[in-house]
Amino acid sequence: MTWVRKNLILILGILVLVYTFIPIFVVILMSFNDPNSRLIYQFDGFTLHNWLNPCEDPDMCSAVRLSIGIGLLATLGATVLGTLAAFALVRHDFRGRSSMNVVIFLPMAAPEIVMGASLLALFVGAGFGGQLGFGTILIAHIMFCLSFVIVTVRSRLAGMDDNLEQAAMDLYATPQQTFWRVTFPLVFPGILGAALLSFSLSFDDFIVTNLNAGQTTTFPMYVWGVAQRGVPMQVNVVGTVMFVIAVVIVVGGELNSRRRARALA
Amino acid sequence: MASSAAVAPLAVMDPDTGRRRGWTGYILLLPAAIWLGVFFVIPFYSLVATSLFDPSGSDAKGYDMTYHFANYWHALQDYWQPLVRSLVYAGIATLFCLVLGYVLAYAIAFKAGRWKNLMLVLVIAPFFTSFLVRTLAWKLILGDNGFIVNSLQAVHILGPDGRLLATPVAVIAGLTYNFLPFMVLPLFASIDKIDHRLIEAASDLYANPITGFRKVTWPLSLPGVVSGTLLTFIPAAGDYINAQLLGSPNQRMVGSVIQSLFTDANNYPIAGALSMILMLLIVAMVLFYVRRAGTEELL
């Protein structure tokens, strides 16, 4: 009993953590479900069918492909633009710094529905109302990923000790050599983290995308559509795969940094 | 001294901040600034303009700008219910998130020891799965023949025909779940920074654990509480996925109204006005709240 009292907060914390995983267990379970009816969403029996036939509904796979494509391009765009901007903000001085900080902060704080609605108002006002699709989704995704990239890379850069760079220059490294051999490798984990965050933000976005997609269907929009008329279990296969990839990447990164810390110690 | 000599050739560096002056900064910043300017700042002006268009126009023949402020009145009159509902649901969900998130963040920061980073990773991991697929999973968990409904029926909290789906309970539960990490991460960041010695000092001075928490830990974690609640409340108020998948039309939230006014009804002026009202209400509430919490320096 005293043990429980002493560790009460840790136990409660772990319970909350378990709670966050409940739907994940359901998603994994349902990916092996053999449903009796498409309309009633419950576990009826075990099957590997969904895993062996992920593209039974070709619309789903094309939606997944589209989301991956948009996710990769949006990540590339946002990471490049955001990293440059983060370097500018940390390493360079210029006028308008504080208003720039506000412009970076606002997209993270504004409700998505307002952001999506504004963008739609712009596109329609500029006469692109009929051309909503891949291009407008990509523009929107780069826009809302950008702030997250800038903030992530900026905090990595700001927390970095510049002694190493000064040492490199003391040893007659040119500015280019210093940048590519010292600065960039040190900032790289931040850039990688920002890229992963961008991809998952882009792949998962529904509200902004739904307003600016026209007739194009991304994966979240596909799920939205089938939620009204019967969900194919393969949706849970995609959900499970996403979860496994995310866990491998984040836990792998964590173990890697632990190993490195141990090697240094 | 050696370091300042090495830096000198780079010239024009601000001695206080170590930041370089000159054109490079502007050039590096320009692409991102243009992107955010054109696709975030300007659209906001388009939205303001749209909300003042004459409602007699249409998507096809275009709208006339007549500074039709009555749009705002009409939007409020027709849609005040989903608007108020969104703020109430988001407020309740934020409160639940604060309780759950505080326990979790506190446990990770102070009790997890060497498992701190791993637990932090586990907090984020479930949220890498699709938002919509996760919400569908809740639909199953809270379903009419599910474990939770059956147990609640067995203990007579719910009547024999009682259900959770299509009720505010399900929508608020979904919102609480989906926005929890937005609460945990800022809370963790500020609880983790608290100096343990301050809490020990409180107990040395005969504060019981509850007083110690109230007088030391909680005030020091306030910055995290404020940013966590904002980061949870704002997206939750605009969300309509949970209301749509877990609720019924009686739980319709304002985001869903805005979406369908834009895409189904093609009523851009009213949709624009409603978005503006939502935005202004949120800004007003945030300013009031931040002032009450006395943490203006955060913004």
B165/B189 Cα distance (integer angstroms): 35
**Main-chain dihedrals φ then ψ at residue A33, nearest 5 degrees:** -80, 145
Report the domain count for chain A: 1
Beta carbons of B59 and A112 less than 8 Å apart: no
| CATH code for the domain of A134 | 1.10.3720.10
Identify whether A6 is part of a domain: no
Identify whether A21 is part of a domain: no
B168/B248 Cα distance (integer angstroms): 9
Helix (H) or strand (E) holding B56: none
pLDDT higher than threshold 70 for residue B94? yes
Across the interface, of B42, B122, B133, the residue whose CB is closest to A122 is B42
A171/A168 Cα distance (integer angstroms): 5
Number of H helices, E strands in chain A: 13, 0
Q: In this predicted structure, what is the pLDDT of residue B197?
A: 87
Beta carbons of A223 and B136 less than 8 Å apart: yes
**What is the band of B294 on the pLDDT scale with cuts at 50, 70, 90?**
low
Size of interface A-B (CB pairs under 8 A): 277
Better-scored residue on pLDDT, A40 or B99: B99
Identify whether A125 is part of a domain: yes
Across B143-159, average pLDDT:
81
pLDDT higher than threshold 90 for residue B34? yes
Give the tens place of pLDDT for each residue, B269-285.
999 999 999 999 998 88
| CATH code for the domain of B86 | 1.10.3720.10
Q: In this predicted structure, what is the pLDDT of residue B6?
A: 41
CB-based contact, A98 to chain B, within 8 Å: no
CB-based contact, B185 to chain A, within 8 Å: no
> Which residue in A has a C-alpha nearest to residue B20's C-alpha?
A92
Low-confidence stretches of chain A (pLDDT < 50) are none
Identify whether B251 is part of a domain: yes
Identify whether A219 is part of a domain: yes
Across the interface, of B18, B112, B140, the residue whose CB is closest to A41 is B140
Give the tens place of pLDDT for each residue, B239-263.
999 999 999 888 899 999 999 998 8
Q: The domain containing residue B272 runs over which residues?
A: 74-298
Assess contact for B136 and B57: CB atoms under 8 A: no
Q: In this predicted structure, what is the pLDDT of residue B17?
A: 64
Q: In this predicted structure, what is the pLDDT of residue A166?
A: 86
Residues of A with CB below 8 A from B183's CB?
A: none
Across B185-205, average pLDDT:
88
Identify whether B24 is part of a domain: no
Identify whether B163 is part of a domain: yes
B44/A43 Cα distance (integer angstroms): 46
> What would the two tokens of residue A117 be?
């609605």
Identify whether B64 is part of a domain: no
**B185 contact partners, CB below 8 Å, separation of at least 6:** B123, B124, B228
Q: In this predicted structure, what is the pLDDT of residue B144?
A: 81
Q: In this predicted structure, what is the pLDDT of residue B66?
A: 80
Q: In this predicted structure, what is the pLDDT of residue A34?
A: 86
Q: Which range has the top average pLDDT, B19-33, B40-54, B144-158? A: B40-54
The number of angstroms, rounded, from the C-alpha of A193 to the middle of its chain's C-alpha atoms is 9
> Burial letters for A126-147: b for 16+ Cβ neighbours within 10 Å, e otherwise?
eebbeebebebbbbbbbbbbbb
pLDDT higher than threshold 60 for residue B11? no
Residues of B with CB below 8 A from A12's CB?
A: 103, 107
pLDDT higher than threshold 70 for residue B1? no
Identify whether B23 is part of a domain: no
pLDDT higher than threshold 50 for residue B5? no
Q: In this predicted structure, what is the pLDDT of residue B92?
A: 97
Beta carbons of B100 and A16 less than 8 Å apart: yes
Degrees (nearest 5) of the Cα angle B130, B136, B139? 150
pLDDT higher than threshold 60 for residue B8? no
**What is the band of B297 on the pLDDT scale with cuts at 50, 70, 90?**
very low
Report the domain count for chain B: 1
Q: The domain containing residue A159 runs over which residues?
A: 58-232
A200/A242 Cα distance (integer angstroms): 9
Q: In this predicted structure, what is the pLDDT of residue B7?
A: 43
CB-based contact, B222 to chain A, within 8 Å: no
B111/B117 Cα distance (integer angstroms): 12
Degrees (nearest 5) of the Cα angle B71, B284, B226? 145
How far is CA B57 from each of CA A62, A149, B49, B232, B270, rounded to the nearest angstrom?
A: 37, 40, 14, 37, 12
Assess contact for B160 and B228: CB atoms under 8 A: no
The mean of the pLDDT values for chain B is 85
Dihedral class, residue B18 (left if φ above 0, else alpha if ψ from -120 to 50, else beta): left
Better-scored residue on pLDDT, B62 or B48: B48
**What is the band of B10 on the pLDDT scale with cuts at 50, 70, 90?**
very low
B2, amino acid identity: A
**A186 contact partners, CB below 8 Å, separation of at least 6:** A160, A164
CB-based contact, A118 to chain B, within 8 Å: yes
